Amino acid sequence: MSSFFSDIFVASPATGFQLDAAAGFGTGDGASQPQSLLAGLTPLDPGAGPSVSSELGISPEMQAKLVHDFFDFVHYSMPLFRKDEFLQQYEDGMINRSILLTVLAVTAKSLGLPQGSQVANIDDCLQQLLKNDPLDGPTQPALLLDAFRQSCLLAFYRFHQGHGGDAWDYISRVSRKALRLGLHQLDSTDRYSSFDDILTTPANLEEWRYVWWCIYCLDSYSNIMAATPFVVEKESIRTALVATSLEGLSDNQDGSPVEQFLPTDTRDLWRISAEMSARSTPASYFNMHIVTTTLLREAAAIFRLRRQSPSESLEQRRSQLGDHLSAVLLSLPPQFLREARNAFANESSVDHHARLVCLLHLHAARLLNTITFDPSDDSAWMTSWQRSLAHSEDIVAVIREWDSRYCSTVDPAICLIVLCTLILLYLHEMHEATPGVPTLSDRLQAERNILLLFLEQFARIWALPRSLKGGSKIVTLISTVTWLEV
């Protein structure tokens, strides 16, 4: 667990983004050079070179199925493409080859292929994709959006397939490149002139917003797990929250929607959560995810700093965050806080699980903010200890409603929340169970089993949950572990 309390400083990114390394991108000078299949983002020409399906060792029918499976099961956890537009370009053979390869490979590795299907080529393809950073080469503005999309997908895959420090470093590089280009300032009145050629339409601007907020989430998850400072400072963000869905072309885009921004102070987040929770659209769920991720970021940062360099100002900041968390929770309608799917309101299973992830973020933030490191105050210590059990059981209540069929639709970073909860429940079971009164012990053991089974479901897809599940087994062997040591 020591990596959760490290003191590595992440340097601030510089301005002035340029893609000036050679990696096979077109430079617009008219020169045409032979390029590797994975060397850059080039239009997919069905008549030139081998087909993508033959490169991967899968049938054309399997390729088409993987494309649709990507949007049905994977895209919800990393929304980057307009579904109808992507599928139309795929049918017309106009999808960038590297984008298509990345989508197919990540989907195949996430969901698996039918028994007997060839997978060797997919593994080779992924290894080659991971070696070639899409943002390391010069590119035309029209291809820059796809370059960032591919980088986000590869960062998502790296992080959850257990690449550890390499994945964290990769996400940091993508975050810095996004900051240099100014993706955090898309809606600033004095944004960089380089956007004049990139942001051609309001719909195009919205796609860039989705890319930015996906990078924001990746930066959040990786640095929370590594216990390191965030690359992205929320106070610097002047990119609006999303206003439309990427799932289809049926969104009502009449008129210009009012731009909404992530507040720079967590005390104002309740205003956004109150408005977003009253809606039932993919965009509102995505924005709620950003709100709850921001609260979890703040709780994790305060927790890390209190552990590394405790001070009175940090205790005040911790107390204020507790009020901000309460305000967000009180701003949400009762139906949003209920763990069960709202069948009467025809809540879809995908929306239900998106809401469950938000609830996990909120309960985890409260749990982190509850923990105290000073055992000298017995009263405060016992209050913190009791609240930690209450918040842990709130997390278990959310997990009880989980349907394993939808594991691929959410970011598996939530497994880190489950692992921490699992450890706390084990400590409570160890140190509070009263001999002759097995009720509490039985309850805690049943709750731990639920969390272990949850990790097992995600471990079938991703390497990160597998490693976390292995870590939980190690913890249960340490009978002398104490609350303070955690």
Q: How confident is the model at residue 202 (pLDDT cuts 50, 70, 90)?
A: confident
Please give the C-alpha separations between residue 173 and each of 10, 204, 293, 371, in angstroms, as whole numbers.
Answer: 11, 24, 20, 32
pLDDT at 430: 83
pLDDT in tens, 31-74: 333 334 344 455 544 434 457 777 777 888 899 999 999 999 99
DSSP secondary structure code for residue 126 in this structure = H
pLDDT at 466 over 60: yes
Q: How far apart are CA 224 and CA 233, in angstroms?
A: 14
Q: Are 455 and 465 a contacting pair, CB within 8 Å?
A: yes
For the record, the structure tokens of 78 come out as 């990393």
Q: How far apart are CA 332 and CA 274, in angstroms?
A: 6
Query: Identity (one letter) of the amino acid at 177?
Result: K
Q: Which of 48-62, 148-162, 404-418 has the lowest mean pLDDT?
A: 48-62
What is the residue-averaged pLDDT of the chain? 82
pLDDT at 115: 67
In percent, the amount of the chain with pLDDT more than 70 equals 78
Nearest to 293 by CA among 160, 417, 167: 417
CB-based contacts of 97: which residues, under 8 Å, 6+ apart? 37, 41, 42, 43, 44, 52
CB neighbourhood size of 123 (10 A): 13
Q: Are 152 and 221 a contacting pair, CB within 8 Å?
A: no
CB-based contacts of 207: which residues, under 8 Å, 6+ apart? 80, 81, 82, 145, 246
pLDDT at 248: 60
pLDDT in tens, 221-268: 999 999 999 999 999 999 999 999 887 644 444 456 678 999 999 999
CA atoms within 13 A on the CB side of 482: 4
At 266, phi and psi to the nearest 5? -65, -15
pLDDT at 440 over 90: no
Q: Which of 91-100, 107-116, 342-351, 406-415 has the lowest mean pLDDT?
A: 107-116
pLDDT at 21 over 60: no
Q: Which of 101-105, 196-200, 202-206, 270-274 has the lowest mean pLDDT?
A: 196-200
User: Could you tell me which residue, 107 or 117, shows the higher pLDDT?
Assistant: 107
pLDDT at 244: 92
pLDDT at 281 over 60: yes
pLDDT at 110 over 50: yes
In percent, the amount of the chain with pLDDT more than 90 equals 54
User: Could you tell me which residue, 433 or 121, shows the higher pLDDT?
Assistant: 121
Q: What is the mean pLDDT of residues 300-304?
A: 97
pLDDT at 190: 74
pLDDT at 359: 98
Q: What's the length of the chain?
A: 486
Q: How confident is the model at residue 4 (pLDDT cuts 50, 70, 90)?
A: very low
Predicted TM-score (pTM) of the model is 0.86
At 85, phi and psi to the nearest 5? -65, -40
- Residue ranges of alpha helices (H) inside 246-348 are 269-277, 282-308, 312-331, 334-337
CB-based contacts of 136: which residues, under 8 Å, 6+ apart? 19, 21, 23
Looking at the DSSP assignment, which residues form a beta bridge with residue 43?
96
User: Could you tell me which residue, 39 or 476, shows the higher pLDDT?
Assistant: 476
